[in-house]
């Protein structure tokens, strides 16, 4: 069974699966087209990605794609634990620039459904963490946008203070700088 619960940001969902457990381990359904269709969620994901973090504190993101390459993401933690963050980048949304974070781990069988128009990133809470995410559109570098993980306009509170991030993510312009240039 899969439970689908909307987050405080409209259109984004936490999806919790109830695993079947016995002496061998556990089995859980992470995706069910019928359930996704019942909630009118995107149910086609032509690209699947695996992302790993060697060290606790590593942040990947915050990234999103703009039209015509906007994408929905469905993310699962398959090893370790991560703090997953979404930011509403839809200018016409009542929760524009609002963010929501949730902890995902390989042990809890939960996923995050991230709609189009949301920036996404996560921070590893344990060494050697890994996530798989399914995307409704293929990666398009010319349509990718970034929100800096420490942008004060958004004000995300990351749980691990010792942050490791790529040069690309550290050098993304602040939102107030981006708005001045557009």
Tell me the CB-side half-sphere exposure of residue 158, using CA atoms within 13 A.
Answer: 24
pLDDT of residue 26: 84
- Terminal Cα-to-Cα distance of the chain (whole angstroms): 46
Does residue 181 carry a pLDDT above 60?
no
Choosing from 100, 120, 133, 134, the catalytic residue is 133
pLDDT for res 180: 60
H helices of 10-129, where? 33-38
- Specify whether 83 is catalytic: no
Task: State the chain's mean pLDDT as an integer.
Answer: 94
* Residue carrying structure tokens 């991230």: 114
What is the mean predicted confidence (pLDDT) over 59-74?
A: 96
Task: Give me the mean pLDDT over the 86-98 stretch.
Answer: 96
**2-37 pLDDT tens trace:** 889 999 999 999 999 888 888 998 888 888 899 999
Q: Is the pLDDT assigned to residue 63 strictly greater than 90?
A: yes
pTM of the model: 0.93
pLDDT of residue 115: 97
User: 2-181 belongs to which homologous superfamily?
Assistant: Jelly Rolls (2.60.120.10)
Distance from C-alpha of 72 to C-alpha of 75, rounded to nearest angstrom: 10
Banded model confidence at residue 179, pLDDT cuts 50, 70, 90: low
Domain-by-domain residue ranges, the chain? 2-181
Token pair of 161 as six digits: 């203070």
CA 95 to chain centre: 17
| Candidates 63, 76, 100, 120; catalytic one | 63
Separation CA 149–CA 122 (nearest Å): 9
User: Looking at the predicted structure, is the pLDDT value of residue 131 above 70?
Assistant: yes
54 token code pair: 């060697």
| Per-residue model confidence (pLDDT) at position 171 | 94
């Amino acid at each position: 069974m899969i439970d689908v619960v909307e987050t405080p940001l409209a259109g984004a969902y936490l999806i919790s699966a109830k695993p079947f457990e016995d002496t061998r381990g556990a089995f859980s359904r992470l995706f069910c087209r019928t359930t996704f269709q019942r909630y009118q969620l995107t149910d086609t994901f032509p690209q699947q990605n695996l992302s790993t973090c060697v060290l606790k504190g590593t942040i990947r993101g915050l990234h999103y794609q703009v039209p015509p390459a906007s994408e929905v993401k469905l993310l699962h933690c398959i090893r370790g634990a991560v703090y997953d963050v979404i930011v509403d980048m839809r200018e016409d949304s009542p929760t524009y620039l609002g963010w929501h974070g949730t902890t995902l781990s390989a042990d809890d069988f939960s996923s995050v459904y991230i709609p189009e128009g949301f920036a996404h990133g996560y921070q590893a809470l344990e060494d050697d963490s890994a996530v798989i995410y399914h995307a409704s559109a293929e990666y398009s570098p010319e349509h990718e946008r970034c929100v800096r993980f420490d942008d004060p306009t958004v004000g995300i509170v990351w749980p691990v203070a010792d942050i490791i991030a790529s040069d690309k993510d550290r050098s993304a312009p602040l939102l107030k700088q981006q708005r001045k240039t557009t």
